[in-house]
A and B are shown apart, each in its own frame.
Chain A
Amino acid sequence: MHTVNEDESLTGGAYRLSPAAVCTALGALAVAGLLSATSGAAGLPVAGVLASLFDWVPFLGESSLTERQESVLFQIRLPRLVLGILVGAALGMAGAAYQGIFRNPLADPFFLGVSAGAGFGAVLALGFGLDIGWGPFDPVPAAAFVGALLAVTASATIARGPGSAPGTLLLGGVAMAALFSAAQTYALQRLDETRAREVLNWLFGQLSTSGWSSNLLLGPYVLVCGAVLFAHRRHLDVLRVGDDEARALGLNPARSRVIVIIAASLMTAAAVSVSGLIGFVGLVVPHIVRLMVSHSYRVIVPISALAGGALLAFVDVGARTLVAPSELPVGVITAFVGGPFFAYLLWRGNGAET
């Protein structure tokens, strides 16, 4: 007689979200968070920040921060840190989802043209002064979502054309990115100078915030779409054997694809609406998770959310401190890191399907 545990140990394997992986990702997130909260022009002491954050826990001691320091922490540092984590989580998870659904490890929001499409939608909405909503109910992410869906649908359609080859999806994405970037530039030119400068600053990939409003906008999208992607992560594993076999196994690939693409695109669009175009996070993060933790999307999807959040929190520390007192756009740093990484993947020949 075989015990149930023996059966699970025989077949459980890499599907399991290992506590070690979750703890490592959470640890990276905590370190990045602490680094981000304590570095910057107004230096905040680590102990003070920790005490202040856990003020609500009884018997843990009083915060040693001054009132001014507290307001820097809660009104400037933390909103920005949380925004970085949310954007990073959104892009990391969306990248993992696209890679799974298109069975292409090089797919990510940036290379599919999704970010550019979302950017165009958002530029239009911002250009018309439509950033007037409350929290998630804002015309900007809605417009960005329309642009994102247009771009991903076009890329996917090109990849299914009669002349399609393995690289066609990404080349279609490049075409869409070029098209939507041109449209963005055109739309920007139509704006008056001050507005254009504002929009352009946002477009470069910024995490600067005014208080918690951007978090209020992005948070619900990340939570809801993230939950949808998390719930469908098993489907991404089934799809690894291809649409035909997946269908023979009893999955409806078209239905899974539509749901996952909508969730990933909506999440990307919301991230683009608050932080502009931040490339490569969706490419680099799932890749590293795949290399270091597991090939299974059941692991890649959730860990990419945590690792993406940690990565962007780290990158933001660099963005704020490298050329202080001025600031680098986050998107510039991710491109500096991600560009060579992408080049390496291409050189190594990692274009094969996962």
Chain B
Amino acid sequence: MSNVMLSCHDVTVDYGARQALRGLDLTIGTGEWLGLIGPNGAGKSTLLRSIAGLIGYTGSVTLADGETPTALDLALVPQSPLLPPGMTVAEYVLLGRTAHLGWLARESRADHKIAAGVLRRLELRSFARRAVASLSGGEAQRVVVARALAQQTPLLLLDEPTSALDVGHQASVLELVDGLRRDDGLTVVAAMHDLTTAARYADRLALLHDGSLVAEGPPAEVLDAALLSDVYDTPLSVRLIDDELVVLASPRSNRNRPTS
């Protein structure tokens, strides 16, 4: 791996009686796209929220310089962002500047310029005065990405950013992020539901199960049919179609174990 950007060491999160993360070790390289995969409740969101400092954990999450990351280092695109009624797209994107402002300061011209630049870049200019709450799912997710970009952080955390979108909008949001990664050298850590999509975009996958890291490496290594079937508790097959790894649920007739 190239330069290490972020290291998680022995990260453990207790939700009361349940351990959501169990001593997880993971490193993320500068400029890479790390996909977090695993069934519901595996700990993907919990790991992202730990990295973002939104929940308490034991262990350590550190940047290359040994510091704990802040909102100046990473921006989070939440799974279901709150879109306040009446707030315009421009105002929403400007919120991305919060971490750069002093406690009582207001946005400077430079902040406005950055937000306006992001709006132009993501082709949201004509949306600037629209209310965020009135946007469609795909448009809204684009605006949330815009807010994260306005934060100008080297690391972008995406929590299942496309789970509410149709296939077309999923692709457009992920292409957008991928383009930004290439152009700006961003590092991306994304919890991803769809394994085929994860294989397409991620350089490396981390497979979580029950709060532990089960496998990590390039998609071709991690997406192993037997391993996945075991972790997802359902028969899955992995095919190579047009040079792309595709994960399929096996047809019902082929299932060799009864569903419980």
Give A residues with C-beta under 8 Å from B: 2, 4, 6-8, 10-15, 231-232, 234, 237-238, 240-242, 244-251, 290, 294-296, 352-354
A250 near B54: Cβ-Cβ < 8 Å: no
Q: Which of A10, A232, A237, A249 contacts B125 (CB 8 A)?
A: A10
User: Residues 73-100 of chain B: 1 if any A CB is under 8 Å from the residue's CB, otherwise 0?
Assistant: 0011010011111111011111110111
Judge whether B75 and A248 touch: CB under 8 Å: yes
- Nearest residue (CB) in B for A352 is B85
Bin chain B's interface residue count: 35 or more
Bound state CA distance, A296 and B129, in angstroms?
Answer: 13
Cβ of B113 and Cβ of A7 under 8 Å apart? Answer: yes
Q: Which of B86, B87, B94 contacts A11 (CB 8 A)?
A: B94
Say yes or no: is B239 at the interface (Cβ < 8 Å to chain A): no
The chain B residue sitting closest to A294, CB to CB, is B86
**29 A-B pairs whose Cβ atoms sit less than 8 Å apart in the complex:** A2-B113, A2-B116, A7-B113, A10-B119, A11-B90, A11-B112, A11-B119, A11-B128, A12-B112, A13-B88, A13-B91, A14-B87, A14-B88, A231-B104, A240-B82, A241-B84, A241-B92, A242-B82, A245-B81, A247-B71, A248-B52, A248-B76, A249-B96, A249-B99, A250-B71, A295-B84, A296-B87, A296-B91, A354-B84
Question: B78's contact among A13, A245, A251, by CB below 8 Å, is which?
Answer: A245
Give A186 Cβ to nearest chain B Cβ, in Å.
41
B236 within 8 A of A: no
B119 with A248: CB separation less than 8 A: no
Closest B residue, CB atoms, query A242:
B82
- With a CB–CB cut-off of 8 A, which chain A residues contact B75? 248
Q: Which of A2, A249, A354 contacts B151 (CB 8 A)?
A: A249
Q: Please give the residue numbers on chain B whose beta carbons come within 8 Å of chain A beta carbons, in ascending order.
A: 52-54, 70-72, 75-76, 78, 81-88, 90-96, 98-101, 104, 106, 109, 112-113, 115-117, 119-120, 125, 128-129, 147, 151
Other than the given A8-B109, A241-B92, A248-B75, 18 more pairs (CB < 8 A) read A4-B109, A6-B116, A10-B112, A11-B91, A11-B116, A11-B119, A11-B128, A12-B112, A15-B94, A237-B91, A241-B81, A247-B54, A247-B71, A248-B76, A295-B85, A295-B86, A352-B85, A354-B85
Say whether A251 contacts B98, CB under 8 Å.
yes
**Residue ID in chain B nearest A12 by CB atoms:** B112
Q: Which of A4, A12, A290, A353 contacts B90 (CB 8 A)?
A: A12
Residue of A nearest to B109 (CB): A4
Measured between beta carbons, the chain B residues less than 8 angstroms from A354 are 84-86
What's the nearest-Cβ distance from chain A to residue B127, in Å? 10
A353 to B94, CA, bound (A): 20
Complex CA–CA separation, A8 to B33 (angstroms): 34
What is the bound-complex CA distance between A12 and B119, given in angstroms?
A: 13
Residues of chain B contacted by A251 (CB below 8 angstroms): 98
Quick check: A238 and B98 within 8 Å, CB to CB? Answer: yes
Tell me which residues across on chain B come within 8 A of A352, comparing CB atoms.
85
Taking the nearest CB of chain B, how far is it from the CB of A222, in angstroms?
A: 19
Contacts of B106 in A (CB 8 A): 234
A250 B87 Cβ-Cβ under 8 A: no
The 10 closest A-B pairs by CB, nearest first: A250-B99, A295-B86, A250-B71, A7-B116, A240-B84, A11-B90, A249-B98, A248-B76, A10-B116, A242-B82
Q: State whether B112 touches A248 (Cβ < 8 A).
A: no
Give CA–CA (A15, B93) in the complex, Å: 12
B92 to chain A: closest CB distance in Å? 8
Closest A residue to B92 using CB positions:
A241
